[in-house]
Amino acid sequence: MMGEDEVVRTFVQASTGADLAVIEGVMGMFDGVEGTIEGSTAHVAQILSVPVQLVVDVRGMSRSANAIIQGFRSFEPGVRIRGALFNRVGSPHHRSMIERSLPVPAYGWIPVDPTRSVESRHLGLFMAQEDRKMREWGPFIEEYCNVDALARDAVTPDLPATPTHARKPEPSLRVGVARDAAFCFYYQENLLRLKRQGGELVFFSSLSDRLPEVDLLYLGGGYPELHAEALSYAPALRDIRRACEDGMPVYAECGGLAVLCRSIAVRDRECRMAGILPAEAVMRSRFQALGYVEGSGTGISPLFPPDLFFRGHEFHYSCLSCDNDARFALRLTRGKGISEGRDGLTEHQTVGSYSHAYFTDAFADTLLFAGRAWKRT
């Protein structure tokens, strides 16, 4: 989604001044795009020349865990597996059976403890701030893992320094960003890029605050369906509706898209939403789309001109029922979007998409330019 150069730049920038940088893997280690290594955890490890420390679930196996590790070590050249942490170890005897044939150093033996398990729901795990059990994991890991060895073996890669980004000379633009329990999915790099390109980020809660005085609004993803009733009565929703009708540029992704529709239906209960976009959102029992997206603007909206190319990701359980005359600001060459590659439902200067876009400089500049144009009027 970012490209190799951006992976290096982002990693170096984010870890500058840190003693330890942790890169969290996704899915299986070698699971990339369309059955290739591209975009996988292993690919990222190769790009950054960093060692890998496997977390191996050993429930229901003993010596076979080491065969899995050995297979991972030999499967893809250039991926250095430094050691392993064994999760869900049943007993001291279970541990001893695995220890007899270790192919790599063991950094930890984490016992089964149902009281500390973190449950999942649609879109993923419960978030850390929602589950008090997460606060207990630090001492627990220190007790059962060799944290010093983990830190010692995290060898610093030889990566190039990245230039310092100077903010552009244009006047600062106030960018409203909804951030609370309903809107919590944002790529941090997108927010940083908006700041670097001259935006002043103004965070607010869609559940408890009024919409602050801003010139551009960014509504990310999250769990609005869990807070649909509260959102339907929230003062911020009325403010957002008026801002959209007044022509303020508004860009919304996934959950933000659903909130800008006329309603959200969850388990046969329908809650009124902003009513700006000509559609109803309906939550389904299984995911409706999952994977990377690529696309460009259709030119219908000034937020997405035809020459604006972007990449991103989509993952959602809702679907939209759109009016027959609905207009779309995005055309996907990869991914599903709202319907058959059409994404970016648009009215006024509001665009709502299922795609979580990764902002390039051009992407951020286009959003900010629209905000400045509206501010001048």
Using pLDDT thresholds of 50, 70 and 90, give the confidence band for residue 165. low
Residue 271 within a domain? yes
Kindly name the residue from 145, 184, 244, 254 that is annotated as catalytic: 254
Exposed/middle/buried for residue 107 (C-beta within 10 Å: 0-12, 13-18, 19+): buried
**What CATH number does the domain containing 277 carry?**
3.40.50.880
Assess whether 197 and 316 both reside in one domain: yes
Please state, in angstroms and rounded to a whole number, the distance separating the CA atoms of residues 156 and 202.
35
Assess whether 128 and 35 both reside in one domain: yes
Residue 255 within a domain? yes
Residue 261 within a domain? yes
Domain boundary among 105, 121, 152: 152
Residue 303 within a domain? yes
Residue 102 within a domain? yes
pLDDT tens for each residue of 18-44: 888 889 888 889 998 888 999 999 999
Identify the DSSP state of 172. Answer: P
254 is a catalytic site residue: yes
Assess whether 18 and 126 both reside in one domain: yes
Provide the pLDDT for residue 120.
Answer: 76
Provide the pLDDT for residue 155.
Answer: 74
The closest of 114, 115, 118, 138 to 128, measured between CA atoms, is: 118
Assess whether 216 and 255 both reside in one domain: yes
Q: Are strands 173-178 and 216-219 parallel, antiparallel or unpaired?
A: parallel
- Other beta carbons within 10 angstroms of residue 197's beta carbon come to 23
* Residue 244: alpha-carbon gap to chain centroid: 25
Assess whether 195 and 55 both reside in one domain: no
Assess whether 267 and 317 both reside in one domain: yes
Residues across the chain: 377
Residue 126 within a domain? yes
Domain boundary among 123, 152, 181: 152
Assess whether 183 and 147 both reside in one domain: no
Identify the DSSP state of 128. Answer: G
Assess whether 208 and 290 both reside in one domain: yes
- Other beta carbons within 10 angstroms of residue 250's beta carbon come to 29
Q: Which of 155-159, 216-220, 337-341, 372-376 has the lowest mean pLDDT?
A: 155-159
Assess whether 192 and 59 both reside in one domain: no
pLDDT tens for each residue of 322-333: 999 999 999 999
DSSP letters, 103-149, are SS-EEEEEE--GGGPPPEETTEEPPGGG-GGGGGHHHHHHHHB-HHH
* Segments forming the whole domain that contains residue 193: 173-376
Is the separation of the CB atoms in 270 and 241 below 8 Å?
no
Please state, in angstroms and rounded to a whole number, the distance separating the CA atoms of residues 268 and 285.
12
Using pLDDT thresholds of 50, 70 and 90, give the confidence band for residue 123. low
Residue ranges of the alpha helices (H) in 210-306?
A: 228-232, 235-245, 255-260
- Other beta carbons within 10 angstroms of residue 31's beta carbon come to 15
Residue 164 has pLDDT above 70, yes or no: no
Residue 263 within a domain? yes
Provide the pLDDT for residue 102.
Answer: 96
Assess whether 191 and 338 both reside in one domain: yes
Please state, in angstroms and rounded to a whole number, the distance separating the CA atoms of residues 299 and 80.
46
Using pLDDT thresholds of 50, 70 and 90, give the confidence band for residue 204. very high
Distances (CA, A) of 95 to 10, 53, 85: 38, 18, 12
Tally of domains within the chain: 2
Assess whether 148 and 192 both reside in one domain: no
- Mean pLDDT over each residue of the chain, to the nearest integer: 91
Provide the pLDDT for residue 114.
Answer: 83
Residue 68 within a domain? yes
Strands (E), 137-231: 173-178, 183-185, 199-204, 216-219, 221-222
Which helix H or strand E contains 190, and what residues bound it?
helix 188-196
Task: Compute the Cα dihedral for 168, 169, 175, 181 and give only its sign.
Answer: positive
